[in-house]
Structure 1
Amino acid sequence: MTSEPATYPGYRFPAEIISHAVWLYHVFGLSFRDVELLLAERGITVTHETIRQWCLKFGADFARKLRRRRPKPGDTWHLDEVFLKVNGELHYLWRAVDQHGVVLDILVQDRRNATAAKRFLKRLLAGLKYKPKRLVTEGLHSYGVAHRDILHQVKHRTSRYLNNRAENSHRPTRRRERQTQRFKSPKQAQRFLSSQAMIYGHFRPRRHLMTAAEYRDARAKAFRIGRQKTCVQMAA
Structure 2
Amino acid sequence: MSDFDNAEVAFRLREEIARRRLSRARLAERAKLSVSTLEKAIAGRRPFTLATIVRLEEALGASLREEAEVEAAGPSLAPPEMGSYARPAVQWIEGDYLTLRASFGEDGAVYAYRTEIRWSNAKGHLVFAESDRSDATFQQAGFVSMPNLSGHTYLMTSEAGQYRMIMLGRATREQRMFGLLATLQVGQGSQLVPVSCPVALVPMAQIEDPQFGLVRESDARMAEYRSILDTATRDDYCRLRK
- Which has the bigger relative contact order, CA under 8 A and spacing at least 6? 1
Higher-strand-fraction structure: 2
Give the TM-score band, short-chain normalised.
Answer: under 0.3
Relative to total residues, which structure has the larger helix share, 1 or 2? 1
TM-score by length of 2: 0.27
The alignment's TM-score, normalised by the length of structure 1, stands at: 0.28
